[in-house]
Every structure is written in C-alpha cells, then in structure tokens.
Amino acid sequence: MKAAQTVIECASRAEPRCGGSVVIGIDGPSGSGKTTLAQALTDLLGAPVIHMDDLFPGWDGLAQAAGLLTDQVLRPLACGAPAGYRRWDWNTSTWAEWVEVPGAPVLIVEGCASTVDPAAPFIAARVWVEADHDTRMIRGIERDGEAYRPNWERWAAQERELFGADGTRQRADLIVRT
C-alpha cells in the first residue's frame, strides 16, 4: 500500500513526543480507511496499534476519547510509566478489561479523535484519512449493517463538530484520500 510507505517516510522524519515513542496518529471520519491503513503500517513496522474504537464510551463518546487516550496511555508513556486503557465493550455498553500498552519505538493510534487535543501534543506524525461521504456511509453500513445507520448519522454529527472545533484536518502532517 503506497499510502503506508508515505506515512512511514513522514514518521521517520518526526521526533518522539511521547517519551521515546514516535506516535503515528491516523485520524479522520468513520469509514474513511483508517483501520486499513493502520493494518498496513502494522504489517510493515510490527508496531503496536491502539484502536480508538476500544476507547469510545459508546455512540455518544467521541469527544471524551482523546482525553481517555491522553490520560491512560500517552501521558504515562511520556513519563516512562506503565500505560494501558479500559476497553469499551460495545455489546454490553460497559467498560471491560484493562489492556496494557507497552512502550515501543513506534506506536500507532488509529481512529476518530486520535490526534485531537488533548492528545495532539503527543502525536509525532498526524495522518488525516478521508473519503467522500457516500463512500464512507456505504463502507460503514456494509460493515455494521443497515440497523446502525442512525448511529452512524449521530456519530457523523459529532465528528463534524469535534473536527471543526479542533481544526484536525488542517493540522495534519499528511492527508490520505481513499
């Protein structure tokens, strides 16, 4: 995947901002291809990945996720302390087990809000992944099913608000269109 190579080149020029880790943040709206890009990077780099889907406290939790990422993972790693997070169980709508995050030379964080404040200062390479609205909606419904359309629409409204207020796309080091 050419985009993955471009991200690696971008990250190779970045200085660590999270202790000794170069954190690659892959952000953008749902259905844009963030997880696919993160998987390609993992295959090439062997780096651990944090999926923001594991941090969102439900369908209305987008705005809280960057703070959870920062408090539970990024700030502790930056200080050399043990890091991890409580995984959100989407089936039971409750917090589940604790997931440890090891310190690593490269850490990939993928998902909506992975590069917004307060996480932004810890992200060494900010990647924005985008696709047109209809393509993203088709991908989401194919993955999750038609019954989730109202949730996707509710989530998209949160994305517009959060990304607009944060200027997330404008602050990206790299923009990938899928």
pLDDT per residue as tens digits for the range 16-42? 999 999 999 999 999 999 999 999 999
Instruction: State the pTM of this model.
Output: 0.94
Q: What is the DSSP string of the chain?
A: -HHHHHHHHHHHTPPP-BTTBEEEEEE-STTSSHHHHHHHHHHHH---EEEGGGT--STT-HHHHHHHHIIIIIHHHHTT--EEEEEEETTTTEEEEEEEE---SEEEEESTTTTSTTTGGG-SEEEEEE--HHHHHHHHHHHH-GGGHHHHHHHHHHHHHHHHHHTTTTT-SEEEE-
pLDDT at 138: 87
What domains lie within the chain, and their CATH numbers? 2-177 (3.40.50.300)
Q: What is the mean pLDDT of the chain?
A: 95
pLDDT per residue as tens digits for the range 41-70? 999 999 999 999 999 999 999 999 999 999
